[in-house]
Amino acid sequence: MSEYALELRDIRKVYKTATEEIEVLKGITLKIREGELATIMGPSGSGKSTLLSIAGGLDKPTSGRVIVGGVDITDMNEEELTRVRARKIGFVFQSFNLIRNYTALENVMLPLLFTGIFNVKEAKEIAIRALEVVGLKNHANKFPNQLSGGQQQRVAIARALAPNPDIILMDEPTGSLDVDTAARVLSLVKWLNDAFGQTIIIVTHNPEIAELSTRTYYIRAGAIYEEPPKRTLTEIVKEIKSSGSSGDIKKIQLEMLKLKLEALERALKEDRIDPTLIEAEVNSLEHRINKLEKAL
């Protein structure tokens, strides 16, 4: 399997208006390794959100290739992209974007059900674990409007995490939070990256977030520049770990990954998913399971 969770090759994005063409991204090449916490920084209008949309299959590049978890998604149609998004990509947005008609638990269950490989019971089981990971198991049956901003963002993180995607894309995840709450959410993000080995890409203009990342990229006027990896906050992060030991969390993650692998194999047998997509996904999962088993 590919060692990269995300590969962007020479991505260009041009927006056409009636009078002019605006080149927002000018041939961006980016490779994010598995388990990295990468930050893409840049001022407003620099194209960072466009880049994130393209990486997440929400938008199409004008040219270039997008490869997520070893699968080239560039030429996929909308429905194929939808299926890929369900299993391989998690999103966390600035304004949480929880669905108000669903409880916290149901919000987390949604992407699991949309994958088409989990039944309601399995989805519920995994969603409860994901909420446990973000420390919100006791709020599972609350609706978004009954939760604080920080809690809502943690639910959104649990939702992104639950299907064990290859990458989680975060667009200004602390943009709507106060300083303290933002710090808690960021500590959770960093801890998930450390403990779960979850690949996370954060788009932000907040330099403090960049301090947490393993790699930081700067985007300006549609071009990307890499800074050396930063590891200065490692010790700080160790101090702000959530409850539960790393071993327990790894066990939970291992169980979640095994559940996903079983469900995938079952879905393949029942011919519910495209076999061409599944190979890379199964390899990726087995790789992650092996890694975790070794760590335990």
Do residues 30 and 8 touch, judged by C-beta distance below 8 A?
Answer: yes
56 binds other proteins (CB under 8 A): yes
- Which of residues 2, 39, 46, 94 is near other proteins by CB under 8 A? 94
Count CB neighbours of 78 within 10 A. Answer: 8
Q: How far apart are CA 267 and CA 181, in angstroms?
A: 39
Per-residue binding string, other proteins, 140-159, x by CB under 8 A, is -------------------x
123 binds other proteins (CB under 8 A): yes
Which residues neighbour 163 within 8 Å (Cβ) at sequence distance 6 or greater?
A: 86, 87, 90, 111, 112, 115, 260
Of the pair 121, 294, the CB lying nearest other proteins is at 121
- Which of residues 2, 39, 46, 53 is near other proteins by CB under 8 A? 53
Q: Footprint of other proteins on residues 156-185 (CB under 8 A)?
A: 159, 163, 171
266 binds other proteins (CB under 8 A): no
What string of DSSP letters covers 218-257?
A: EEETTEEEE-----TTHHHHHHT--SS-HHHHHHHHHHHH
- Which of residues 21, 78, 239, 271 is near other proteins by CB under 8 A? 78
* Residue-level length of the chain: 296
E strand or H helix at 26: strand 21-33
E strand or H helix at 10: strand 4-16
- Which of residues 95, 146, 148, 234 is near other proteins by CB under 8 A? 95
- Residues found near other proteins in the complex (CB under 8 A): 49, 53, 56, 58-59, 78-79, 82-83, 85-87, 91, 93-95, 97-102, 106, 110-111, 113-116, 118-120, 123, 159, 163, 171, 272
